[in-house]
Amino acid sequence: MFVQDLILQGAPDRIAFHGKDSVTYAVFREKVAQYRDYFYTTGVQEGENVGLFSRNSVEFVYSYMAIVSLGAVVVPINFQLTAREIAFIVKDAGMTKLISMELLAIDNELAQQGYEQPVAQLVIPDFKQALEQGQFPAAPLLNKGFTENCLCAVIYTSGTTGSPKGAVLTHKNLVSNAGAFREALPVTAADNVLCVLPMYHCFAWTCAILNSLLCGASITILEAFAPKETLTAIKEYGITVVYGVPPIYNFFVRGGDPDALDGVRYFISGGASLPETVARQFFDKYGQKIIEGYGLSEASPVVMLNPLKNPQYCSIGKPLPGLAVKVVNPEGEIQPPGVVGELVVRGPSVMQGYFNLPDETAVALRDGWLHTGDLAYQDAEGYFYIVDRLKDLIISNGENIYPREVEELLYAFPGVIEVSVIGVADPLRGQVARAYIVLAEGQAFDKKAIREYLQANLAAFKIPRDFVVVSSLPKNQTGKILKRVLRDQAG
């Protein structure tokens, strides 16, 4: 099955998308066909990478499905990124077409990064008018040689090495993950699923969109999370399945009436570790347990989910059907229960590799196993628990912050001679970034200037919440900055 085939699973008269203007599955299919025909006339071809830049919307779904139905590869882009960051992805993916909700001012950044290919921007509000005014010739069917093992999406993610990396996913990767997730979480056609997490992120896309379509369920799309609006939507549209990150559940604990979520059957948490305090407070208030899971973009993304009948606090649960998971030591030997090692996974949802990065791919994929970079252990009952991260990744409100990217920019700021960025605990966002800075002798610290500089080059969520000026940074004998010491000092 191809990803675009998922739109055929729901009954034609069933509501596919709830909202101000509800959309049935029949209309949904018509819209995708219209978008598909239009994109074909603009030259979208099988195998090419096409960018998709938009906040949550039905148009995002139409565009995504239309792109991949042509055999092209969709590259969802985080709408919070700056022009510099967008330009990097456009160049890295070799794009010549970018679908967006508004015209993006990226030409100067592309030129500065040496990208000479012209990039055509297809602006959704503009071509929607064209679609209303007339029909376009039907796009041809996919070639018979196009199979489920062909590429579907490139999801840009990153680690502490700095520049984002594109995780390459096939149709089989994504559809198999949606199917395995359905076995672990029995969503039905009668359900109404909330999609408030950003669609460019694999968590929201696979769980809230692909899995829901596979089940023929309805979806309520919200552009972004706002506590009051979200609670109102849950009640108004009769939402039965909620996917969230820990800060969302923290908001629910602190606001909302105890009966506000009565109609919800499942609350699923991912994106970051769910604090036990939040989970227990949520249960005390609403009488339901949050089902925590675990995944990463490189696995399409869901790897584990807590069993519905017996979820365990602080556990990421058990592997999805069809996935093999183990905890290994540096030599690749399986660790016994209770012993910490690196979590590795193998199965049909694991990525093909990183786009045009064979060395990084070889590190991540070894002997058929995806090395997650997360430290974990398994208990005697088969539940897995994340202990720490091998990488220095910071997760704030479900978004990834990669310290080196921030550090490289700060190093380029006048007067900064050393810098280290770490994650510190935050009651609302889980973590926020903190920058430790060593200034040149006699250099005054100008917090406003540093913030303005970062705001011009980074998405807002990546900017450190605070800056600590220090005379020196802790280092080992080889001169490597010891982030562990900084984290210990930060508590």
What phi-psi label fits residue 55: left (phi over 0), alpha (psi between -120 and 50 degrees) or beta?
beta
- Asked if residue 200 belongs to a domain, the reply is yes
Residue 407: pLDDT band (50, 70, 90) is confident
Residues 413 and 354 in one domain: no
Give the integer Cα–Cα distance in Å for 344 and 366.
Answer: 10
Of 34-48, 116-130, 368-382, 400-414, minimum mean pLDDT range:
400-414
Residues 203 and 231 in one domain: yes
More confidently predicted of 391 and 86 = 86
Confidence at residue 328, expressed as pLDDT on a 0 to 100 scale: 97
Residues 49 and 106 in one domain: yes
Model's pTM, two decimal places?
0.85
Confidence at residue 104, expressed as pLDDT on a 0 to 100 scale: 97
Residues 354 and 421 in one domain: no
Residue 491 above 90 pLDDT?
no
Q: Could you list the residue range(s) of the whole structural domain that residue 413 is in?
A: 394-490
Residues 326 and 193 in one domain: yes
- Asked if residue 380 belongs to a domain, the reply is no
Terminal CA-to-CA distance of the chain, rounded, Å? 49
Mean pLDDT value of segment 155-179: 86
Residue 57's closest CA among 30, 105, 17?
17
Give the integer Cα–Cα distance in Å for 232 and 223.
Answer: 14
Residues 46 and 147 in one domain: yes
Residues 371 and 464 in one domain: no
Q: Burial letters for 409-422: b for 16+ Cβ neighbours within 10 Å, e otherwise?
A: bbeeeebbebbbbb
Residues 409 and 294 in one domain: no
Residues 369 and 325 in one domain: yes
**Strand 430-439 to 97-100 pairing:** unpaired
Residue 83: pLDDT band (50, 70, 90) is very high
Question: Token digits for 146?
Answer: 């196009």
CATH of the domain at 410: 3.30.300.30
- Asked if residue 388 belongs to a domain, the reply is no
- Asked if residue 403 belongs to a domain, the reply is yes
Give the integer Cα–Cα distance in Å for 219 and 187.
Answer: 12
Residue 204 above 60 pLDDT?
yes
Residue 391: pLDDT band (50, 70, 90) is low
- Asked if residue 159 belongs to a domain, the reply is yes
Question: Helical H runs in 197-259?
Answer: 202-203, 211-214, 227-236, 246-254
Q: Which residues, other chains included, contact 7 with Cβ-Cβ below 8 Å and sequence gap of 6+?
A: 16, 25, 28, 29, 32, 65, 213
Mean pLDDT value of segment 474-480: 60
Question: Token digits for 206?
Answer: 């696979």
Confidence at residue 159, expressed as pLDDT on a 0 to 100 scale: 43
What Cα–Cα distance (Å) separates residue 165 from each residue in 88, 158, 168, 426?
Answer: 10, 5, 9, 27
Residues 286 and 406 in one domain: no
CA-CA-CA-CA torsion sign (350, 351, 357, 358): positive
Residue 135 above 90 pLDDT?
no
pLDDT in tens, 270-285: 987 888 888 998 999 9
Confidence at residue 251, expressed as pLDDT on a 0 to 100 scale: 86
- Asked if residue 328 belongs to a domain, the reply is yes
Give the integer Cα–Cα distance in Å for 266 and 311.
Answer: 12
- Asked if residue 430 belongs to a domain, the reply is yes
pLDDT in tens, 288-337: 999 999 999 999 999 999 999 999 999 999 999 999 999 999 999 999 99
- Asked if residue 475 belongs to a domain, the reply is yes
Domains held by the chain: number: 2
Residue 318's closest CA among 326, 306, 309?
306
Residues 370 and 407 in one domain: no
Residue 158: pLDDT band (50, 70, 90) is low
Residue 477: pLDDT band (50, 70, 90) is very low
Residues 292 and 400 in one domain: no
CATH of the domain at 256: 3.40.50.12780
Residue 161: pLDDT band (50, 70, 90) is very low
Give the integer Cα–Cα distance in Å for 51 and 121.
Answer: 9
